[in-house]
């Protein structure tokens, strides 16, 4: 499989450095190994070089996008990043299209974005901030750019298992390792029984209003 690249999107803070760097690098190396791609060992150096080159943004948080190509080449792009206000609530809708839980590439963050772009295209940008996808069994999977988390009042967030057909998000991994989240299959009915969040490593957890 050589028609796609692997992607990691990180946040860089001037004082703290890269947020969740170890988890991002571990996921990239693991994904590259499983997919037979080389070059992942050069990711950290490429990230540091890109941040140094963005010296004009000194003192500014950055969105850093790393792309590892099948030939081992790495490209890194940076842009200023403005965090969302803490009181932000995203409007979320459910896509009509379904993911195939047996598709192995759903477990990796790649440049194959057709399914997620199609889900986004079901709604006008003015209607929603994020779109959630279900699999062929009607199980909740993930958003187009986020993982899904449900606060059902138990004190531990619930997030869908990888087996449902979704990306092993870096924020998701961190919350599970910290025992702040655990995996559980979720239905649409479950989402109505608690407070819903989406999130990723770049933006953190975001409260959402599920629009039906």
Q: Tell me the pLDDT tens digit for each residue of 33-46.
A: 999 999 999 999 99
Residues of the chain with CATH 3.30.470.10: 6-80
Compute CA distances 193 → 151, 158, 187, 190, whole Å: 9, 12, 10, 5
Give me the sign of the Cα torsion angle 37, 41, 45, 48: positive
Mean pLDDT throughout 113-139? 97
Q: What is the CA radius of gyration of the chain?
A: 17
Query: What would the pLDDT profile of 131-182 be if each residue is shown by its tens digit?
Result: 999 999 999 999 999 999 999 999 999 999 999 999 999 999 999 999 999 9
- Crossing angle for the helix pair 21-35 and 170-177, to the nearest 10 degrees: 110
Burial of 191 (C-beta count, 10 Å sphere; 0-12/13-18/19+): buried
Largest CA distance in the chain: 49
For domain 6-80, the CATH architecture is: 2-Layer Sandwich (3.30)
Nearest to 212 by CA among 132, 116, 119: 132
Would you say 101 and 164 are in contact if contact means Cβ atoms under 8 Å apart?
A: yes
| CA dist., res. 23 & res. 27, Å (int) | 6
- pTM, to two decimals: 0.94
Stated as kind and residue range, the H or E segment containing 175 is: helix 170-177
pLDDT category of residue 54 using cuts at 50, 70 and 90:
confident
Domain 89-210 has CATH 3.20.10.10: yes
Residues of the chain with CATH 3.20.10.10: 89-210
């Amino acid at each position: 499989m050589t028609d796609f690249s692997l992607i990691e999107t990180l946040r860089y803070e001037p004082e703290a450095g890269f947020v969740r760097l170890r988890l991002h690098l571990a996921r990239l190396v693991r994904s590259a190994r499983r997919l037979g791609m080389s070059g992942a060992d050069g990711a950290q150096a490429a990230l540091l070089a890109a941040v140094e080159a963005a010296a004009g943004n000194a003192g500014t948080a950055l969105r850093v996008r790393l792309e590892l190509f099948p030939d081992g080449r790495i490209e890194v792009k940076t842009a200023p990043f403005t965090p969302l206000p803490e009181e932000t609530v995203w409007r979320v809708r459910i896509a009509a299209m379904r993911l195939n839980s047996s598709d192995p590439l759903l477990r990796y963050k790649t440049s194959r974005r057709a399914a997620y772009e199609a889900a986004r295209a079901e709604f006008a940008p003015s209607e929603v901030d994020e779109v959630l996808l279900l699999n062929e069994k009607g199980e909740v999977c993930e958003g187009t750019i986020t993982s899904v988390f449900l606060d059902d009042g138990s004190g531990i967030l619930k997030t869908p298992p990888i087996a449902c057909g979704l990306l092993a998000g870096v924020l998701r991994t961190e919350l599970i390792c910290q025992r702040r989240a655990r995996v559980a299959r979720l239905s649409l009915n479950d989402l109505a029984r608690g407070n819903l969040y989406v999130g990723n490593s770049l933006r953190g957890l975001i409260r959402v209003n599920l629009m039906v």
